[in-house]
């Protein structure tokens, strides 16, 4: 169970995920959150970079010790985190987002958040996990190559005519409070039994034709939902197929979703 959360803030770090790893090696324990005003070497999924410019976005990571969780279930923590971010943004900013499987929170078809979960093992078991979350908050524009698929909380608030200021500190705390709730429900069963129905309610690709892009092949399918491990269930030629989070991207046929 995740109980107490302890917050540490730095103006600038290379990557909050990397700082959590250092802290775990120094003996720090579950519940430590490291947040930073900016990251100089933010990391994205599949070896990509994650831009986190000065004081515009949230960069935050937590240290978890799910010692009894089977290694193959660790990736599902990303799905749990996506639910927490969606929930916290709704509560704090009034924005009702959807989830693009597995872990992107999207508004108006554009991504507002990225999540990267990493694990270290000892004696063949989970030693610790760091789950890192990046949220675009005050960003007014994005680099040309991602502008078509990226948005921020401020841009969405403006678009929806909602006149509130989103505090990065308050939203960060709301995210981890919400994460605590979802994560403990996840740990009860070690899978998404308690959370699947809610996740599917917000699943942006549900019922949509999507393109599955794996390393060696790419094909079209209909996204049906997820299973209790957080894997995507798709239909191809009247047959169900399970897509696991890994080296696979799922794209809409006509755009990012």
Q: Which residues bind ligand BTN (CB under 6 A)?
A: 15-17, 39, 42-45, 48, 50, 52, 59-61, 114-116, 132-134
Q: Least separation, in Å, of the C-beta of 117 and ligand BTN?
A: 9
**With respect to ligand BTN, which residue has the nearer C-beta, 40 or 193?**
40
- List CB contacts of 167: < 8 A, sequence separation 6 or more: none
Q: Least separation, in Å, of the C-beta of 104 and ligand BTN?
A: 6
Geometric angle at alpha carbon 136, from 133 and 140, rounded to 5° = 165
Q: Least separation, in Å, of the C-beta of 103 and ligand BTN?
A: 7
Q: Least separation, in Å, of the C-beta of 218 and ligand BTN?
A: 19
Is residue 98 within 8 Å of 113, Cβ to Cβ?
no
Run of H or E including 18: helix 16-25
**Integer Cα distance of 114 and 133 in angstroms:** 6
Q: Least separation, in Å, of the C-beta of 52 and ligand BTN?
A: 6
**Integer Cα distance of 85 and 179 in angstroms:** 8
User: Among 180, 108, 130, 157, which residue's Cα sits nearest to residue 20?
Assistant: 130
Q: Least separation, in Å, of the C-beta of 153 and ligand BTN?
A: 15
Both tokens assigned to 92: 């704090």
Q: State the residue for tokens 């969405």.
A: 156
**With respect to ligand BTN, which residue has the nearer C-beta, 55 or 193?**
55
b/e for 19-43, b at 16 or more Cβ within 10 A?
bbbebbeeebebbbbbbbbbbeebb
Q: State the residue for tokens 């799905």.
A: 79
């Amino acid at each position: 169970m995740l109980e107490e959360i302890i917050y540490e803030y730095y103006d600038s770090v290379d990557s909050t995920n990397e700082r959590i790893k250092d802290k775990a090696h120094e003996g720090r324990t579950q519940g430590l959150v490291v947040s930073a005003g900016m990251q100089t070497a933010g990391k994205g999924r599949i070896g990509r970079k994650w831009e986190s410019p000065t004081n515009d976005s949230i960069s935050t990571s937590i240290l978890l010790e799910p010692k009894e969780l089977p290694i193959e279930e660790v990736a599902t923590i990303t799905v749990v985190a996506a639910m927490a971010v969606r929930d916290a943004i709704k509560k704090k900013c009034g924005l009702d987002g959807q989830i693009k499987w597995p872990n992107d929170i999207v508004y108006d078809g554009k991504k507002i958040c990225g999540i990267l979960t990493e694990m270290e093992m000892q004696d063949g078991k989970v030693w610790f996990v760091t789950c890192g979350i990046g949220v675009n908050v005050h960003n007014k524009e994005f680099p040309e190559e991602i502008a078509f698929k990226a948005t921020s909380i401020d841009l969405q608030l403006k678009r929806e005519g909602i006149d509130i200021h989103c505090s990065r500190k308050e939203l960060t705390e709301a995210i981890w409070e919400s994460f605590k709730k979802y994560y403990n429900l996840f740990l009860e069963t070690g899978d998404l039994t308690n959370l699947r129905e809610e996740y599917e309610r917000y699943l942006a690709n549900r019922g949509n034709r999507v393109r599955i892009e794996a390393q060696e092949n790419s094909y079209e399918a209909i996204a049906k939902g997820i299973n209790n491990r957080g894997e995507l269930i798709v239909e191809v030629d009247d047959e169900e197929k399970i897509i696991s989070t890994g080296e696979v991207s799922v794209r809409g046929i006509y755009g990012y979703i």
